[in-house]
Amino acid sequence: MADITASLVKALRERTGAGMMECKSALVEAKGDLAEGEVVLRKRGIASAGKKASRATKQGLIGTYIHHGGQLGVMVEINCESDFVARTADFQELVHDVAMHIAAADPRFIRKEDVTADVIEKEQEIQKARALAEGKPEKMIEKITEGRMAKFYEEICLLEQPFVKEATLTVGQFVKTRIAKLGENISVARFVRFKVGDSQAAESGSETTAAE
């Protein structure tokens, strides 16, 4: 077994904000590998974040991001449970990072459940027609379409998109790591994305919970 020193535990705690015992446990599981210990803690945090999904989020912040040059801007509302957490640097950084991601990735909806029936139906028709045109077997069309719809949701739904600052996580998973660290439920309520020359701002919003 690797020697789990106090300095190693401290280093992981500084990286993640997790408690000393949690860090030590993660390092034991990771055999003393600091980077792997961080992955272990992240996985545990994402798993535990779901338990907070039903808790009301009535506080939070409205954040903005203006891209260099002033041609593209985003406003996003992210909610948490308390004003105390809303004032923390970690929460403020989360709001900024999600706004920046929206500017870069241009999502149309917050989550899969928000995608309207007409959009789903149209995309399914496109993907079925595409599969047939490619000569795919008739009996495989539905399965192929289902797989391509999953990719479609990843492209248009904020919480399904790979996070621009860390592509190994989706935005939803990234939010869950903040839930685990801050100890409160966090939800993305709504956003609007403006681009100069585009008269129809892309807007999406509802009481949606990232931990779901």
The CA-CA-CA angle for residues 39, 14, 42, to 5°, reads: 20
User: How much is the pLDDT for 35?
Assistant: 87
> Is 1.10.286 the CATH number for 116-154?
yes
Ordered mean pLDDT values, 10 residues apiece, the chain (212 residues): 80 75 86 87 69 80 94 96 95 97 96 94 93 88 91 94 91 89 92 86 56 44
Question: What does residue 120 show for φ and ψ, rounded to 5 degrees?
Answer: -60, -50
Residues of the chain with CATH 1.10.8.10: 6-51
User: How much is the pLDDT for 197?
Assistant: 83
Residues of the chain with CATH 3.30.479.20: 56-112+157-205
- From residue 79, alpha-carbon distances to 5, 15, 84, 98, 185 in Å are 38, 24, 12, 12, 8
Residues of the chain with CATH 1.10.286: 116-154
Is 90 within 8 Å of 180 (Cβ atoms)?
no
32: Cα separation from own chain's centroid: 28
User: How much is the pLDDT for 85?
Assistant: 94
Q: HSE, CB side, 13 Å, CA atoms: give it for residue 114.
A: 22
User: How much is the pLDDT for 56?
Assistant: 81
Is 60 within 8 Å of 99 (Cβ atoms)?
no
Is 114 within 8 Å of 157 (Cβ atoms)?
yes
User: How much is the pLDDT for 208?
Assistant: 44
Options 1.10.8.10, 1.10.10.10, 1.20.120.80, 1.25.10.10; which CATH number does 6-51 get?
A: 1.10.8.10
| CATH code for the structural domain at 56-112+157-205 | 3.30.479.20
